Amino acid sequence: MTSNFATTGRHIDKMRGVLFLALIVAGLAIVAPAAQAQKSVSSADTYRQLNLFGDVFERVRAEYVEEVGDEELIQAAINGMLTSLDPHSNFLNGKSYRDMRVQTKGEFGGLGIEVSMENGVIKVVSPIDDTPAARAGMEPGDLITHLDGEAILGLSLGQAVERMRGPIDSKIVLTVRREGGEPFDVPIQRAIIKIRSVRYESIGVVGYVRITTFNEQTNSGLQRGVAALSSELGDKLAGFVIDLRNNPGGLLDQAILVSDAFLDKGEIVSTRGRDPNDAARVHATPGDLAAGKPLVVLINSGSASASEIVAGALQDHRRAIILGTQSFGKGSVQTIVPLPGNVAMRLTTARYYTPSGRSIQKTGISPDIIVPTARIEKLGGKKRRRETDLRNALENGESAESKQPSEPKPAGRPTAKQRAEEDYQLARAVDLLRGLSLLQTRMVN
């Protein structure tokens, strides 16, 4: 065994040198947990630790029960170093780095369908408007059983989605089983699909805006949504519900733009890192997208990072009522540092603070009105008789044409109005805005 190490001595020294240079270039420092309150580690100690790493690395290469590639070992070591710092710092290999850029950019080559997994096959939740899947006639509830003739059974949802994505203009054949019919093939040509991070619709006189993530499309989606709802409801508009529940965050600049959309002035967020000179403050610009209409922001334990920045800014400026449950409490800033070889690292570099100076980290945003997650259930029981049930009851007096027709039940995704009939938090938010609007109307009159 000694002779083996002797023959590879030069290789070890070279590897140590490469590793040391890589660490310096990447801007990393190996620091003991207590070193922040003590004198920095000397160069001699740093070299000693790098020598130790080199010894462990070479021993694993030579003696591990199965052969392991150098790249795999080094990337695992780097990732271990980063993940030991905090839960959000990590190494991004080529695939992870590409996936991260797809998520933040908000567009990719694909088909344009929202899907879920059901009994081992892919179920279409909804085709996205004006996408290849919608134009090909895909419908909510369709079951996809094969991709290019290969069965989906055995694949995870993520694996199936990855196969449906691909280069723009490339083709794929989906085998679809629709209720009551035989399986049939649907050829689809992939195109650029924009991830829709903002959805909006009216619930009576209330504008409902759902933000699922903060990517490059978020602010433009918000602008379109608020403008469309304002135009649709006109003077009847009571206000807006901004739903940030289960929104994991995303791009900081988009969170700032969304906050700025509803604020005329004042600080939106500040960040403070290791160096006090690197502290940054961002302020709002004049203009309120909602024209002063009341806002209710929905949050829960799944609202994190960028979502908490928006909720905290609107809460501190008393621009919105925050309703729901305590948010996640991720108040740290991650910087993506590209590295040679189309890889990168995600490194925590600062903390977020709300305009009043509150740190979001580990505490989160406390709602102004705490409303637990619950579902509304209609009570059954004996139906009580009403005037309309009495024999020979007088007619209403209105013509049959003036009666409002019942709303058809849409297929696929339930509407916001339908969700508000079961979603307790959303129902409370809508009722709150209706009440504020009614009160203002009565005060004016």
> Per-domain residue ranges for the chain?
2-84, 107-194, 198-370
CATH of domain 198-370: 3.90.226.10
Res. 291: pLDDT tops 50: yes
CB atoms within 10 A of CB 5: 14
Mean pLDDT of 21-30: 41
Same fold for the pair 107-194 and 198-370:
no
User: Looking at 126, 305, 332, 437, which residue is catalytic?
Assistant: 305
Catalytic residue list contains 368: no
User: Looking at 307, 330, 332, 423, which residue is catalytic?
Assistant: 330
Mean pLDDT of 66-76: 91
Cβ(367)–Cβ(325) under 8 Å?
A: yes
Mean pLDDT of 407-419: 65
User: Looking at 316, 327, 423, 437, which residue is catalytic?
Assistant: 316
Residue 67 backbone dihedrals phi, psi, to 5 degrees: -70, 135
CATH of domain 107-194: 2.30.42.10
- Which of 229-233, 239-243, 363-367, 376-380 is least confident? 376-380
Catalytic residue list contains 330: yes
Predicted confidence band of residue 368 (pLDDT cuts 50, 70, 90)? very high
Mean pLDDT, the chain, as a whole number?
84
Predicted confidence band of residue 256 (pLDDT cuts 50, 70, 90)? very high
Is residue 71 exposed (0-12), middle (13-18) or buried (19+ Cβ within 10 Å)? exposed
Cβ(239)–Cβ(207) under 8 Å?
A: yes
Write down the pLDDT at residue 25.
37
- Report in angstroms the alpha-carbon separations of 362 from 51, 113, 133, 268, 270: 37, 36, 42, 20, 17
Write down the pLDDT at residue 413.
64
Catalytic residue list contains 305: yes
Res. 2: pLDDT tops 60: no
Between CA 283 and CA 230 the distance in angstroms is 26
* Six-digit token string for 442: 């009565």
